[in-house]
């Protein structure tokens, strides 16, 4: 009868000890904070905290994963911000009465930069779908713009 309850009790104690270690360990505590910031979309803070957690414990896979995902998400954010900036500049050029050859060349160059930068992005399953969709939308918009400018 004693053996029947011994294994579940030992398993429960092991799980409790693992949970306590996970909550008390400073590396995993930082990882949990990094996960929170990643989920709310603050990728810079998530990367910073995950990097701190990883530097405390290089075997912390959670920190490693969050650090990699935050870095990928930051690349997407930078890409989207660059595309928005270029669209603002292009709209200023397009508001003019006439568009010179130099302005057309500038629009073409900006479009090519955005299109080429998109190829360097590497989404994963965990990457925020909104970021991936927004980046794809900007890529498509700039491809259409480049097509119009090169006509």
Tokens for 58, please give them: 């290089």
Terminal-residue alpha carbon distance, the chain: 85
Tens of pLDDT, residues 87-118? 999 989 888 888 888 888 999 999 999 999 99
* pLDDT at 51 exceeding the cut of 70: yes
Report whether pLDDT(26) > 60. Answer: yes
Which tens digits make up the pLDDT trace of 59-98? 999 999 999 999 999 999 999 999 999 999 998 988 888 8
Beta strands (DSSP E) in the chain are: none
CA-CA distance, 94 to 73, in Å (whole number)?
31
- The stretch 4-32 carries a mean pLDDT of 79
pLDDT tens digits, 116-132: 999 888 877 888 899 99
pLDDT at 89: 93
pTM of this structure: 0.81
């Amino acid at each position: 009868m004693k053996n029947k309850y011994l294994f579940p009790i030992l398993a429960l104690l092991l799980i409790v000890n693992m949970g306590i270690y996970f909550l008390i360990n400073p590396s995993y505590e930082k990882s949990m904070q990094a996960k929170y910031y990643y989920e709310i979309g603050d990728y810079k803070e998530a990367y910073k905290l995950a990097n701190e957690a990883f530097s405390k414990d290089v075997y912390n896979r959670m920190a490693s994963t969050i650090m990699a995902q935050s870095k990928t998400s930051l690349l997407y954010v930078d890409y989207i911000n660059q595309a928005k900036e270029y669209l603002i500049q292009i709209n200023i050029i397009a508001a003019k009465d006439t568009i010179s050859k130099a302005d057309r060349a500038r629009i073409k160059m900006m479009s090519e930069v955005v299109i080429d930068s998109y190829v360097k992005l590497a989404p994963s399953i965990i990457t925020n779908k909104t970021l991936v969709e927004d980046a794809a939308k900007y890529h498509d918009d700039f491809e259409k713009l480049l097509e119009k400018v090169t006509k």
